[in-house]
Amino acid sequence: MQNLSELQKARLTFKPEIAKVLQDLKLAQFVESSKKEVLADVAKSFPNIKDCSELSVTTKNKQSFGSLSLGVVFSGGQAAGGHNVITGIFDAIKALHPESRLFGFLNGPKGIIQGKYVELSQEKLEPFRNQGGFDLIGSGRDKIETPTQFEEALKVVSGLDLDGLVIIGGDDSNTNAAFLAEFFLQKGVKTKVIGVPKTIDGDLQNERVAISFGFDTACKIYAETIGNISRDALSAKKYYYFVKLMGRSASHITLECALKSEPNLALIGEEIEANGKKLSDVVSEISDLICQRADQEKDFGTVLIPEGIIEFLADVKGLIQELNKLLAKDSVQAQKLIEVEQALSESAKSCLKLMPEEIQLQLLMDRDSHGNVQVSKIETERLFIALVQEELKKRKEKGSYKGKFSPQPIFCGYEGRAALPSNFDATYCYNLGRLAALLIAHKKTGYMAALTNLHQKVQNWEGFAVPLASLIHFEERSGKQKAVIKKELVDLNGKVFKIFALKRDAWRLQDSLLQSGPIQFFGLKEITDTVPFTISL
Ligand code: FBP
């Protein structure tokens, strides 16, 4: 039994409510709800799953099921609630047949390839109910990519005689789930593959998936910090907090946290890109805010920066694209900054030169296994501090700035991923797990489990299965076109952004900041059971 705090012990007793359609799983059935288009080029890679229709869950006559054997794996970064997906799967398959078995692949997709797994029993799972982290079985960012790896995965799932495999992951991991589902069908293997939408980034969204799990908890944790730090700024009146928020590409986390905490300025990457802004434009924008506030004798404030911002800035984006191509070639990987610089175009080189050397080096760090820049390792908050400092110095010399600038960098990142899940994430995940198990019991493959109506009572949540192939498009990765699930970025015409845009001007000078406080698990439902703005709006 792992060591648990009093709060962790109390959380063990939380019983996630179950959506009505998922309560008696023997009554639940799937009906085709609509046909989903698959892009012609994508369809070529998925001859067996390209024609899947979207499915919805309904209840009908009672059915009986034989025992099931399922595998489950966490893929990618942690997100609060993951353990509840697993307990949801476990309770569901045991309810369908008491002799059903669940195997957890260890440390991410490589556990599948290497055949490293543990059988998950009631006893093993008990201390993990409603707990944070992915440590029950671990996670990893490896991909099942090469033909050999596909064959190895096939050997392992066949060896275990798995009826199904649940891949709990983000866009790239669900892309992997689609390829595995297709491969197993081509090989005539019975193992079905179902994806579960996970990522704190909130960019795995579609018509049926309003939000991925983990987003709610992470935003609540970051918003608490921002609220506290902003109140510190307001009290001491001497610091500017530059808060970088996790979210590899999309700025959903920053947008949600901005609405929850009302900082003086929140940068939204997608808006910056839409306006074609460059690094220097954003530096001017932040400096303008600081000067305006200094005119009111306010030398303090809070600025939110999404970690993915650098890829939305017109000039930095160009630079990163060039770097990605260069770094994709083994020969250049080991080269030093100076040599890489020589290979860049003039515009990319001058953009790189704008940055402090440590940031230049961070931009050259290894890409992750999916070819993404590791934005969480790039200290964008420090980059902006350094450039704003230079700009303010110039303004001071010209007499247009009279304040005192004392910046403090803050990174809200990893602490939001493995936290005790909010009531929403704990409940959402448990229901997603049940749905994933049900899909496999009904021999469905190549789908993502999805729950809708999340703004309503849990009782009224509806279950869907979205064909994975219909979510895939082509995009450039490591300099090559790849079939991947599209990341959903912040919609500048969407309600959440529009409300933010209406409110933000007042935040610049007024210090109307909000303290949302720590996640609450007990007490008034209006406080314990809140959902993200992305859902409530
Ligand atoms: P996933 O998309 O795998 O859920 O991970 C998201 C994320 O938390 C990003 O917000 C962050 O940029 C990245 O993972 C950090 O990755 P790592 O854990 O490899 O440092």
The tens-digit pLDDT sequence of the chain (537 residues) is 578 999 999 999 999 999 999 999 999 999 998 888 999 999 999 999 999 999 999 999 999 999 999 999 999 999 999 999 999 999 999 999 999 999 999 999 999 999 999 999 999 999 999 999 999 999 999 989 999 999 999 999 999 999 999 999 999 999 999 999 999 999 999 999 999 999 999 999 999 999 999 999 999 999 999 999 999 999 999 999 999 999 999 999 999 999 999 999 999 999 999 999 999 999 999 999 999 999 999 999 999 999 999 999 999 999 988 887 777 665 444 456 777 888 899 999 999 999 998 898 888 887 776 667 787 788 999 999 999 999 999 999 999 999 999 999 999 999 999 999 999 999 999 999 999 999 999 999 999 999 999 999 999 999 999 999 999 999 887 668 889 999 999 999 999 999 999 999 999 999 988 999 999 999 999 999 999 999 998
Residue 78 CA, closest ligand 1 atom number: 4
Ligand 1 binding pocket mutation candidate from 141, 246, 412, 486 (most atoms within 8 A of CB): 246
Q: State the distance from the centre of ligand 1 to the C-alpha of 146, rounded, in angstroms.
A: 23
Residue 327, amino acid: L
SS (H, E, C) 459-506: HHCEEEEEEHHHHEEEEEECCEEEEEECCCCCCCCCHHHHHHHHHHHH
SS (H, E, C) 503-530: HHHHHHHHCCCCCCCCCCCCCCHHHHCC
Q: What pLDDT does 369 receive?
A: 67
- CA 447/CA 439 separation, integer angstroms: 8
Q: State the distance from the centre of ligand 1 to the C-alpha of 31, rounded, in angstroms.
A: 35
Token pair for 211: 């939000």
Fold equal for 25-214+421-485 and 225-413+493-531:
yes
Contact 246, 282 (CB under 8 A): no
Residue 203 CA, closest ligand 1 atom number: 2
Q: Is 201 a catalytic residue?
A: yes
Q: Ligand 1, atom 19: nearest CA belongs to which residue?
A: 77
Q: What pLDDT does 333 receive?
A: 47
Q: Ligand 1, atom 17: nearest CA belongs to which residue?
A: 77
Domain 225-413+493-531: CATH architecture, name and number where available = 3-Layer(aba) Sandwich (3.40)
* Strands 447-452 and 480-485, sheet pairing: unpaired
- List the chain domain ranges: 25-214+421-485, 225-413+493-531
**In 257-349, where do the E strands start and end?**
265-266, 301-306
Q: State the distance from the centre of ligand 1 to the C-alpha of 304, rounded, in angstroms.
A: 18
CA 297 vs CA 264, 389, 399, 406, 521: distances in Å: 15, 18, 15, 14, 40
Q: Ligand 1, atom 18: nearest CA belongs to which residue?
A: 77
Q: Ligand 1, atom 10: nearest CA belongs to which residue?
A: 247
Strand ordering across the sheet containing 240-245: 265-266, 301-306, 240-245, 407-412
Q: State the distance from the centre of ligand 1 to the C-alpha of 248, rounded, in angstroms.
A: 6
**What φ, ψ does residue 364 adopt, rounded to 5°?**
-90, -5
- Other CB atoms within a 10 A radius of the CB of residue 121 amount to 11
Ligand 1 binding pocket mutation candidate from 167, 248, 307 (most atoms within 8 A of CB): 248
The one catalytic residue among 91, 142, 163, 201:
201
**Cross-strand bridge partners of residue 141:** none
Total-model pTM: 0.95
- In the 8-state DSSP scheme, what is residue 138? -
Q: State the distance from the centre of ligand 1 to the C-alpha of 416, rounded, in angstroms.
A: 11
Class of CATH domain 25-214+421-485: alpha beta
- CA 15/CA 299 separation, integer angstroms: 48
Q: Ligand 1, atom 15: nearest CA belongs to which residue?
A: 376
Token pair for 217: 């908890």
Q: Ligand 1, atom 8: nearest CA belongs to which residue?
A: 77
Q: Which residues line ligand 1 (CB under 6 A)?
A: 76-77, 79, 141, 170, 199-201, 246-248, 307, 375-376, 417
Q: State the distance from the centre of ligand 1 to the C-alpha of 97, rounded, in angstroms.
A: 36
